Amino acid sequence: MSEPFYITTAINYPNGRPHIGHAYEAIAADVIARFQRLRGRDVRFQTGTDEHGLKMARKAEEQGRTPRELADEMSGYFRVMDDTLDISYDRFIRTVEPDHHAASQAIWRAMEAKGDLYLDRYEGWYSVRDEAYYDESELSEDAEGAKLSPQGTPVEWTVEESWFFRLSNYQDRLLELLNHPGFLEPESRRNEMIAFVSQGLRDLSVSRTSFDWGVKVPGSDDHVMYVWVDALTNYITGLGYPEDTEEWRKFWPASLHLIGKDIVRFHTVYWPAFLMSADLPVPQKVFGHGFILNRGQKESKSLGNVTDPLALAETFGVDNLRYFLMREVAFGQDGSYSPQAIVARCNAELANSFGNLVQRTLSMIAKNMDGAILDFEASGEDKALLSMVQSACREALPREFEALSFSTGIEAWMQAVWACNQYVDEQAPWALRKTDPKRMEAVLLTLYVAIRDLALAIQPVVPSKAKAVLDMLGIAEDQRTYADLANQSWYGALVSSGHRIGKPEPQFPRLDLPDAEAT
Ligand code: ME8
């Protein structure tokens, strides 16, 4: 039985359409899910939309419709984004679904049974944009003296009857958890959270009475749960909690919650405390990735620089966008994108390097060798190239991807692509055609073997382009996992079956800057 791997993204607020940050997180999680599947893990991958709360209720009111109407429309755009970007999720969860209400009420009852919930009055600051309570000491002031949250969002003074969760009871256990190596990465976020918890934790207001768009508190009908209580619960709803299902037993605790840096507190303080209170295991790892900026600036409606990720995918291609985001940004840090940067990166690496390597090698095999895959005797140079490619594809890339260092892993892969291109230039198979045809065959077939490893290794990042290349090479669909990289018999099997490749179709055309950007 293969080892289970459960990965989740944050569930997105569908108070507007998806932006580049949502696309970035979905793509990164998908790369991880595909990578782990290729490694032979039994992967479950969940994403979705976080539809309750005051932010949704207010947005709907502004638009003169019900929160449910707003949620239904906008959640649809998130699902379309995922499907367009080739996100291989197993469940797209919506928090309005009945099984999610049932799971949220079940965890609430478990926390109540533990004695961790009590009724009191909340008096303090709340940011609707962040859906978060803040302590006075965390706030700053803008030029007009208005209070701002640490995220720079407005806060409002809130007074209402509320259920409270005894977060303060969990301080020691949370510190122990945060000190556990690997629980929260990157390291810088861990230090911030340790400082936050060490300062002392106040009990958390976990229900609201001033609006009703949420999950009802069991036995307290005029209260709805604080949106983060139900939102975080999505991760276990999707496995069937509170039922003792096969998925639950197999996939909980989650292997990885992938989230952005702004919501680390919710995932590494509140969520583990709720789980501890309900006597449930805590997730194995939380990773807080950085933010994607548009030419160095945060996208916002007021700056008028909000880009539809689907328009980017349409202009540049889904796999180009995926490649750019995973290659350009050191995972964990903030990164920036612009049409110029996407075009420059994809042209240099995919079109001119990998694409060109595939195209010229396969064209020469098709033309000069009638497409035949034959036995050949490898020279010292051929063996040196293959060993370099193999160590990039079998060791460096998987090692770096396992550590979520995608750009470093892709860099190692790119070095191998460059080595192949240098080898073609040095060996000049076009010149060998007349002088030494046997040697030409050995060179082209060495490259064919190298391209198979390169295409196989990069599948998580550019799934449809890698598939097209593997199809052109004639690699069987059931021989494309990472374990197959080490399998030596595939080549002999192609040779003995008399396999021939056809004329290749170019897979990585050069990109042009859209006219509006070129001027
Ligand atoms: O926070 N770059 O939803 P959300 C990269 N519903 N990532 C970004 C980003 C950017 N510019 N902007 C946002 C929520 N994100 C809650 C989550 S989970 C139980 C509930 C990330 O729609 C952000 O950090 O505001 C988060 O991980 C995700 O996008 C959804 O953000």
Q: What would the two tokens of residue 83 be?
A: 């499907």
Q: Tell me which of 59, 291, 301 to substitute to probe ligand 1's pocket, judged by most ligand atoms within 8 Å of the beta carbon.
A: 291
ipTM of the complex: 0.99
Burial label for 492, CB within 10 Å (0-12, 13-18, 19+), is exposed
Q: Give, using CA atoms, the residue closest to atom 7 of ligand 1.
A: 21
Q: Which ligand 1 atom sits closest to the C-alpha of 50?
A: 6
CATH number of 349-497: 1.10.730.10
With b for 16 or more beta-carbon neighbours within 10 A and e for fewer, the 81-109 pattern comes to bbeebbbebebbbbbbeeebbebbbbbbe
Residue ranges around ligand 1 (CB below 6 Å): 10-13, 21-22, 24-25, 50, 231-232, 234, 259-260, 262-263, 291-292
The rounded distance, in Å, linking the Cα atoms of 234 and 255 is: 15
Residue numbers in the chain where pLDDT is lower than 50: none
Domain ranges of the chain: 4-116+166-289, 349-497
Compute the residue count for the chain: 519
Contact call for residues 44 and 256 (beta carbons, < 8 A): no
- Report pLDDT for 302: 67
Q: Tell me which of 262, 289, 303 to substitute to probe ligand 1's pocket, judged by most ligand atoms within 8 Å of the beta carbon.
A: 262
With b for 16 or more beta-carbon neighbours within 10 A and e for fewer, the 436-452 pattern comes to eeebbbbbbbbbbbbbb
Predicted model pTM: 0.97
With b for 16 or more beta-carbon neighbours within 10 A and e for fewer, the 112-131 pattern comes to beeebbeeeebeebbbbbbb
For the chain, the C-alpha Rg in angstroms (whole number) is 26
Domain made up of 4-116+166-289: CATH architecture:
3-Layer(aba) Sandwich (3.40)
Q: Give, using CA atoms, the residue closest to atom 3 of ligand 1.
A: 12
Strand residues in 175-248 grouped as ranges (E)? 184-185, 204-205, 207-208, 216-217, 220-225
Distances (CA, A) of 117 to 201, 274, 277, 325: 15, 11, 10, 43
The rounded distance, in Å, linking the Cα atoms of 492 and 263 is: 51
Q: Which ligand 1 atom sits closest to the C-alpha of 235?
A: 19
Q: List pLDDT tens digits, range 171-187.
A: 999 999 999 999 999 99
* Ligand 1 centroid – CA 149 distance (Å): 17
The rounded distance, in Å, linking the Cα atoms of 321 and 327 is: 10
- Three-state DSSP class for residue 342: helix
Q: Tell me which of 7, 13, 100 to substitute to probe ligand 1's pocket, judged by most ligand atoms within 8 Å of the beta carbon.
A: 13
The residue with tokens 């749960």 is 225
Distances (CA, A) of 370 to 441, 499, 501: 11, 11, 8
- Report pLDDT for 452: 98
Closest CA to 128 of 66, 77, 60: 60
Region class of 197: left (phi > 0), else alpha (psi between -120 and 50), else beta: alpha
Q: Give, using CA atoms, the residue closest to atom 12 of ligand 1.
A: 21
User: Which positions ≥6 away from 145 have C-beta within 8 Å?
Assistant: none
Q: Alpha carbon 417 to chain centroid distance?
A: 25
- Report pLDDT for 518: 64
The rounded distance, in Å, linking the Cα atoms of 336 and 4 is: 34
- Report pLDDT for 304: 75
* Ligand 1 centroid – CA 490 distance (Å): 43
